[in-house]
Amino acid sequence: MAVAIDRMKAEDESDFLELTRVFYGHEGFDFDPAASGRMVRYLLSNPQAGAVYLARQEGLAVGYMVLTHCYSLEFGGPFILLDEIFVLPEVQGTGLGRRLIDSAAAYCRENGLGYLRLEAQKKNIRAIGVYRAYGFRTEDRYLMSLPIL
């Protein structure tokens, strides 16, 4: 079955939020639909901040990814963070994750961005395998965060 991957539009918000709810539930993350809606509307209104893509199979939303613009002196300036990527369990193993990453790489090339970075939970062995097979490499670093607000 054919799967279309397109940039998200405002009218796709409910499909995006449902996919996000499933993803966050799967990962054990807190899900706040109002906050997620507000954040995705920000990205849709501010393309300089990033982009959201939805994957649809026969019109049904089956996956998504969120790309955000970042900047690093070490990585030569602007780069893209593949902030979130999710494919419904029933379509995992079909190559859709790879196709979403292909779309992210194309976005980088189209926008002159030399790096695509992501983070993965160490326990997510399947995803790490997909990323490594694609060509991502692990780095000897700690991901550290400091909540401010």
Each of the 149 residues of the chain gets a pLDDT tens digit; together they read 689 999 999 999 999 999 999 999 999 999 999 999 999 999 999 999 999 999 999 999 999 999 999 999 998 899 999 999 999 999 999 999 999 999 999 999 999 998 999 999 899 898 999 999 999 999 999 889 999 99
Domain boundaries, the chain: 3-134
The closest of 24, 94, 13, 92 to 54, measured between CA atoms, is: 13
User: What is the model's pTM?
Assistant: 0.93
Q: Which CATH class is domain 3-134?
A: alpha beta
Are the beta carbons of 3 and 56 closer than 8 angstroms?
A: yes
